[in-house]
């Protein structure tokens, strides 16, 4: 300590030699920097599988990129990661849980609803949906990630399908199941495409269960209806057969009538020809006899003898018997 004044300030220490420091730690610094860059580089990549779509999510801005990434490996930055969505068909099914033991992904229980006429109805069905690739960002921002929006899809399907079931009677479920299934499919396709950013495929309405008493009555009614259809078909077949037989009989009658008329006309023509021929022959014969009578001097007795002689000449000999009177014989013997 100095008298009469303050202690002198300590002498300043010299700064380390920067060049020496850098030269001594250069290798470690480079290695550390390389490791840091490698870690940043490695963690900046993200993978999207073949069965997935991806959205680039930033941990800094808490936002996702609008672009949808298909399968592949991408550089997205060290503070980013992919929010992934299924790119394949996803199944939603409603069926008896006891029948789903062999399924990898179990669905929900059968749909419970009521028909238009107030009867309970249980419906087993399934369908598949696929997210539209260019609408993945809208799906995420409106409905959230995979688990959340899938549950919403299921709830909407339940609401729509149970509501659609109330538009049909129990009899229509029994007799027009195909039509009802197509109507439900159209409604689901419209809702999923317009509101849920996805498309519906492979809709299958499997079974519809109504109260046992009603199904028994419907089955009995259906059997009776089929029996009635069979009876009507047999009646139509019998009527057609009888009508065919009647037409055939009418045709045969007409043919016979035409044949009889033709035969009668032929007989009339033949008789007319025979009569005309006979009359002509008689006229010719009368003319010839008149000429002979003139040649015989108009002697009737000679004419009769000539006619007798001609008749005997023209008559078959094996069928001719000639008789002679006793006077003629006596005259011939005396002569």
* 206 and 94, same domain (yes or no): yes
Residues 6+ apart with CB under 8 A from 257: none
Other beta carbons within 10 angstroms of residue 158's beta carbon come to 16
Number of independent structural domains in the chain: 2
Half-sphere exposure of residue 334: CA atoms within 13 angstroms, side-chain side: 6
Q: Which domain holds residue 52?
A: 39-84
* 100 and 66, same domain (yes or no): no
- For residues 184 and 164, the answer to whether their CB atoms sit within 8 Å is yes
Asked, for residue 237, whether it belongs to a domain, the answer is no
Q: How do the pLDDT tens digits run along the chain, 335 residues long?
A: 344 444 555 555 554 554 544 445 666 666 766 665 555 555 678 888 999 999 999 888 888 989 999 988 888 878 888 899 999 999 999 987 655 544 445 567 888 998 998 888 999 999 999 999 999 999 999 999 988 999 999 999 999 999 999 999 988 888 888 999 999 999 999 999 999 999 999 999 988 888 888 777 777 777 888 888 888 899 999 999 999 999 999 999 989 899 888 989 889 888 888 898 888 888 887 877 777 777 777 777 777 777 777 777 777 777 667 665 555 545 555 44
Q: Which of 49, 84, 119 is where one domain is finished?
A: 84
Q: Which of 84, 109, 139 is where one domain is finished?
A: 84
Asked, for residue 104, whether it belongs to a domain, the answer is yes
Residues 6+ apart with CB under 8 A from 161: 94, 111, 113, 123, 125, 184, 188
């Amino acid at each position: 300590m100095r008298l009469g004044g303050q202690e002198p300030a300590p002498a300043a220490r010299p700064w380390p030699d920067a060049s020496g420091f850098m030269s001594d730690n250069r290798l470690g610094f480079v290695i550390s920097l390389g490791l840091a860059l490698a870690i940043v580089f490695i963690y900046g990549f993200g993978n999207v599988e073949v069965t997935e779509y991806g959205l680039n999510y930033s941990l800094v801005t808490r936002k996702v990129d609008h672009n949808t990434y298909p399968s592949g490996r991408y550089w997205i930055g060290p503070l980013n990661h992919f929010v992934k969505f299924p790119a394949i068909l996803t199944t939603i099914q409603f069926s008896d849980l006891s029948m789903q033991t062999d399924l990898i992904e179990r669905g929900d229980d059968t749909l419970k609803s009521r028909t238009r006429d107030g009867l309970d109805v249980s419906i087993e069905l399934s369908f598949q949906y696929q997210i539209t690739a260019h609408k993945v960002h809208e799906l995420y921002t409106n409905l959230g990630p995979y688990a959340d929006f899938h549950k919403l899809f299921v709830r909407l399907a339940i609401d729509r399908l149970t509501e659609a079931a109330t538009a049909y009677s129990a009899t229509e479920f029994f007799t027009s199941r195909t039509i009802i299934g197509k109507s439900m499919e159209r409604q689901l396709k419209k809702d999923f495409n317009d509101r849920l950013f996805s498309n519906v495929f492979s809709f299958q309405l499997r079974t519809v269960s109504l109260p046992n008493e009603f199904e028994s009555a419907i089955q009995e009614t259906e059997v009776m209806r089929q029996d009635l259809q069979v009876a009507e078909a047999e009646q139509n077949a019998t009527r057609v057969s009888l009508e065919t037989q009647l037409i055939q009989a009418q045709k045969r009658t007409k043919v016979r009538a035409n044949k009889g008329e033709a035969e009668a006309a032929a007989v009339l023509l033949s008789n007319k020809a025979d009569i005309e021929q006979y009359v002509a022959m008689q006229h010719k014969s009368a003319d010839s006899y008149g000429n002979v009578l003139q040649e015989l001097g108009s002697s009737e007795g000679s004419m009769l003898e000539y006619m007798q002689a001609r008749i005997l000449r023209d008559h078959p000999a094996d069928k001719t018997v000639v008789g002679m009177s006793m006077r003629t014989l006596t005259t011939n013997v005396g002569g």
